[in-house]
């Protein structure tokens, strides 16, 4: 299959929408990461997403909508917490888990009785949904590796496997949406993102963070979000997270400087390192870290790193999302330095 490379021109967006309505797969930009989209109500098209990505069949997808009215057909009910959160954070990088409506194919919900829904803010994503239909879309990478935040990265993974890629430039946020379960008594964060725990707590009373956000899921353990049990976001390089001061970080990396070792550090903390390095934002700038993380992880492989000693972000604000992705990229290999 020849993959079309489309622009943000209206005629291209119309073409993308037509392909989607015909059951084809199209990668689209969103404010979080690029998504690999299919008509959410076409089970065959959705099944093809899993094939193109090599995604485990038990990992459900997020349905993307452009208007609140589209929610009614997708979910069984809208709890009051969800109403409040949608008013505060939609359109934007917040996904909510609802009891699903009968119209949701099993391929989307991976056999669960719930469905994840989000309303993206990216104008290209919104326009394509308006011109087509609600879209099921996971990140547009091959399963397991870092999510794409540039159209060229999508093409690397998906050329020949999907009908088209729409180029919308670099994604603003850089990590996937915050996922919250709103079906229970308390709003529960299943995956952290740019809508932070602190922001959620300003809108709803009871917010809790699932254990799996910062802890490894043990074999056989039941998880609220199937995606949390898989190794994720990982480059070929072995990622090791180093927790400690900039001085302790530099000392540790230099003591372990052998062939193939690279440092993935914060901007401005590279000067005394004796190994090749990449940076991913300043230590205090979590938004910059989120925006640059996945591209930095992909660059490690291009530079043939075998080990990447990675400076660990503090887990507050959007930093929790960065920390969560890095923990998985590192397979939970963390060293406490101080």
The binding site for ligand AMP (CB under 6 A) comprises 59-62, 97, 109, 112, 114-116, 138-139, 176, 179, 190-191, 224-227
Helix or strand or coil: residue 249? helix
Integer Cα distance of 152 and 11 in angstroms:
21
Asked if residue 324 binds Mg ion (CB under 5 A), the reply is no
225 binds, among Mg ion, ligand AMP, none (CB under 5 to 8 A by kind): ligand AMP
Nearer to Mg ion, 191 or 238 (CB): 191
The single-letter DSSP state of residue 247 is H
The answer to whether residues 110 and 3 touch, using CB atoms and an 8 Å cutoff, is no
Tokens, residue 133: 């239909």
Q: Which of residues 204-263 bind Mg ion (CB under 5 A)?
A: none
Minimum separation from the CB atom of position 129 to ligand AMP (A): 16
Report the length, in residues, of the chain.
338
226 binds, among Mg ion, ligand AMP, none (CB under 5 to 8 A by kind): ligand AMP
Q: Which of 107, 89, 101, 88 is nearest to 32 (CA)?
A: 89
Minimum separation from the CB atom of position 290 to ligand AMP (A): 14
112 binds, among ligand AMP, Mg ion, none (CB under 5 to 8 A by kind): ligand AMP
Total residues interacting with Mg ion, rule: CB under 5 A: 2
283 binds, among ligand AMP, Mg ion, none (CB under 5 to 8 A by kind): none
Q: Closest-CB residue for Mg ion?
A: 139
19 binds, among ligand AMP, Mg ion, none (CB under 5 to 8 A by kind): none
Asked if residue 139 binds Mg ion (CB under 5 A), the reply is yes
Integer Cα distance of 133 and 251 in angstroms:
54
CA 218 to chain CA centroid, nearest Å? 22
Helix or strand or coil: residue 334? strand
The answer to whether residues 200 and 103 touch, using CB atoms and an 8 Å cutoff, is no
Applying CB under 5 A, the residues found at the interface with Mg ion are 138-139
């Amino acid at each position: 299959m020849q993959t079309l490379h489309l622009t943000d021109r209206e005629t291209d967006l119309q073409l993308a929408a037509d392909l989607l309505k015909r059951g084809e797969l199209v990668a689209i930009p969103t404010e979080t990461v690029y998504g690999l989209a299919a008509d959410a109500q076409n089970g065959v098209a959705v099944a093809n997403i899993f094939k193109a990505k090599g995604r485990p069949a038990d990992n459900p997808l997020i349905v993307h909508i452009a208007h609140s009215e589209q929610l009614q057909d997708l979910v069984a009910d809208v709890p009051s917490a969800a109403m409040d959160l949608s008013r505060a954070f939609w359109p934007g990088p917040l996904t909510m888990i609802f009891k699903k409506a009968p119209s949701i194919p099993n391929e989307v919900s991976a056999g669960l009785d719930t469905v994840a829904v989000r309303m993206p803010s990216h104008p290209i994503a919104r326009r394509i949904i308006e011109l087509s239909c609600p879209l099921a879309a996971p990140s547009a990478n091959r399963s397991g590796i870092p999510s794409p935040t540039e159209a060229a990265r999508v093409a690397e993974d998906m050329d020949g496997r999907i009908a088209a890629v729409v180029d919308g430039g670099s994604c603003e946020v850089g990590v996937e949406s915050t996922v919250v379960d709103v079906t229970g008594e308390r709003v529960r964060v299943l995956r952290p993102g740019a809508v932070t725990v602190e922001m959620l707590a300003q809108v709803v009373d009871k917010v809790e963070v699932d254990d799996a956000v910062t802890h490894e899921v043990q074999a056989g353990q039941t998880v609220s979000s199937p995606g949390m049990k898989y190794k994720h976001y990982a480059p070929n390089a072995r990622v090791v997270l180093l927790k400690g001061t900039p001085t302790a970080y530099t000392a540790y990396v230099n003591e372990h400087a052998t062939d193939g070792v690279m440092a993935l550090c914060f901007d401005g903390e590279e000067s005394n390192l004796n190994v090749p390095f990449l940076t991913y934002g300043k230590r205090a700038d979590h938004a910059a870290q989120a925006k640059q993380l996945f591209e930095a992880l992909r660059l490690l492989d291009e530079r043939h790193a075998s080990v990447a000693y990675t400076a660990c972000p503090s887990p507050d604000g959007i930093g929790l999302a960065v920390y969560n992705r890095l923990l998985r990229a590192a397979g939970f290999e963390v060293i406490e330095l101080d």
